[in-house]
Amino acid sequence: MISEEYKILADTVREFSGKNLEGSSLKIERGGLGEDIILKMAGQGFLGAKIPVELGGSGIDEKGYLIILENLARVSPSAALKVLINNSLFYPLVAESGDRDTIAGVASGKINATVALEEVQEGFLESGKLSLSGGKLSGTKIGVINSDAGVVVALGGESGKELFLIRNGVSRGKDNPSLGFRGLALSQIVVDSDNYANIGSEGLEQMTKVMDALDLETSAIALGISEGALNKAIEYTKVRSTFEHLLKDYEPVAFSLSHLSAEIDTLKSFLFDRDELDAKEKLELKFLSVDLAKRCTKQALQSHGGYGYLQDFGVEKFYRDAMALSSMFFRRERDNRRLSEEVFQGKAGFI
């Protein structure tokens, strides 16, 4: 069972989301989270949730962190992803750099940071390159989420596998049409920096390990997306009528939404009520949660009929974000191989 402390945290996040994100959801989708919301999230301790207190963060434990992600994603998956970038991508990669000022700035919302992930994501047909010349680090990276950030962690150097913390000289390049998470910019970035640090010679390995460790975070956001979409569908079918009956009165509608609700409750219980999950269980939860998010958001769209595709109804974003979450953090080949190796207790699925 979730303790009273965690229930209070969940209520706090929901109250924050209702006050600051719900009414601005369309504005966020069209223009981004914005500085005002970012600073309010920082003020609540979300942006530095897992960063230690001595480095300017909140020092929240894992379960509390997952509660924050899940409850933010119910209303704004983009806000949840912003929190994930800071705490589960940026901080783990720079924790040993000794750059306390940058870490504290990211936790406070005063520094906007991101991580270029193209080398550890699947599906990129081309990749950018960062090279050292004349004391400068320069080049491009493609498909960078939160690309309006001024501080970036990226791979580069002669081998392309060194890890760099880039503190200046970062600008947005060509925008990429964004399927999901439109509250965060997605584009190419151009780097021409004289303020950077090489923070790892085995950067590709470090970044891969960080991505492999995102199973629970991905599950939390996926379940938040599922619940947000399902709540929209349930509320709509309670008031929308056809042939003199509310939509909820029809078996196909009521049964399908009820089954999805049961799946959400079961997976949330597995995520939050268990004290500790092993590697296999974390992967299983990720597989099931991401799949549920795609099915749940699709059903929510269908429950709204044609209105579901209108941005004003606030449901189509969940479908797009579910697909984007799967594309970004569910690496079909690697994650399937990881699960196979857990199931078979050894090397499997390599031919």
The pLDDT of residue 1 is 60
Asked if residue 154 lies in contact with residue 172, where contact means CB atoms within 8 angstroms, the answer is no
Q: Determine how β-strand 151-156 pairs with β-strand 113-115.
A: parallel
- pTM for the model stands at 0.95
pLDDT tens per residue, range 32-79: 999 999 999 999 999 999 999 999 999 999 999 999 999 999 999 999
Buried b (16+ CB within 10 A) or exposed e, 94-105: beebebeebbbb
Q: In whole angstroms, what is the distance from residue 293 CA to residue 120 CA?
A: 23
- Quick one: fold of 4-108? Butyryl-Coa Dehydrogenase, subunit A; domain 1 (1.10.540)
Do 187 and 174 touch, CB atoms closer than 8 A? yes
Alpha-carbon distance 65 to 6, whole Å? 10
User: For the domain 214-344, what is the CATH code?
Assistant: 1.20.140.10
pLDDT digits (tens, 9 = 90+) for 108-164: 999 999 999 999 987 665 678 999 999 999 999 998 999 999 999 999 999 999 999
**CATH 1.20.140.10 domain residues, the chain:** 214-344
What residue ranges of the chain are covered by domains with CATH 1.10.540.10?
Answer: 4-108
Handedness of CA 167, 78, 23, 69 (dihedral sign): negative
Domain with CATH 2.40.110.10 in the chain: 113-202
The burial class, CB within 10 Å (0-12 / 13-18 / 19+), for 89 is buried
CB burial string 119-154: b at 16+ within 10 A, e below: bbeeeeeeebebebeeeebbbbbbbbbbbbbebbbb
Q: What is the CATH number of domain 113-202?
A: 2.40.110.10
Specify the range with the lowest mean pLDDT, choosing from 21-25, 72-76, 102-106. 21-25
First to last CA, the chain: 43
